[in-house]
């Protein structure tokens, strides 16, 4: 079994459709999806706000690198460019955790090395896993504790929206 938590975001083009395309592509592998949040951009680059959500996916045929590669394929299909670090993007798909694996592999570091610092990851993740934990430096720490430790402006920069991503199950 391969279970992963994916953070998805978009701040260019049809942001909702960009996020929805990830759900559509992962299809039956999607176990849960958070509500959609709007988030001020991170990293000091002048750009539009992001829409962010969390997906929990599970598929015994996909390993951790498989989730990464599938996410990268979706980013490419959405014409994602990587010209500016923390710059605007049509689609961002990050593997936050996968099967409780710790890895310092430069291709896929697990858990995501900055997830514990980002309210736009923690807030929607708590929606789908209220009792969730994240390994930070070898210590399994409750998501709620990590969120509470963030600066106020980081937490208040993540706002709920009325937008809902639709999990469309195909007939088998």
pLDDT in tens, 23-79: 999 999 999 999 999 998 866 777 789 999 999 999 999 999 999 999 999 998 887
Helix (H, G, I), strand (E, B) or coil at 83: coil
What topology is assigned to 3-160 in CATH? Alpha-Beta Plaits (3.30.70)
Q: What is the CA radius of gyration of the chain?
A: 15
* Domain residue spans of the chain: 3-160
Neighbours of 47 (CB within 10 A): 17
> Is the model's pTM score more than 0.75?
yes
């Amino acid at each position: 079994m391969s279970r992963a938590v994916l953070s998805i975001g978009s701040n260019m083009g049809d942001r909702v459709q960009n996020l929805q395309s990830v759900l559509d592509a992962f299809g039956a592998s999607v176990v849960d999806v958070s509500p959609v949040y709007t988030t001020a951009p991170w990293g000091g680059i002048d750009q539009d706000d992001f829409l962010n959500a969390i997906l929990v996916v599970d598929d015994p045929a996909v390993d951790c690198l498989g989730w990464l590669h599938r996410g990268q394929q979706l980013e490419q299909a959405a014409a994602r460019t990587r010209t500016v670090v923390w710059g605007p993007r049509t689609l961002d798909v990050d593997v936050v955790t996968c099967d409780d694996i710790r890895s310092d592999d430069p291709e896929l570091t697990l858990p995501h090395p900055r997830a514990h610092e980002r309210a736009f990851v923690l807030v929607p993740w708590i929606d789908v896993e209220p009792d969730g934990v994240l390994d930070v430096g070898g210590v399994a720490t409750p998501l709620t504790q990590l969120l509470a430790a963030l600066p106020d402006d980081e937490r208040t920069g993540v706002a709920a929206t009325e937008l809902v991503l639709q999990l469309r199950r195909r007939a088998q």
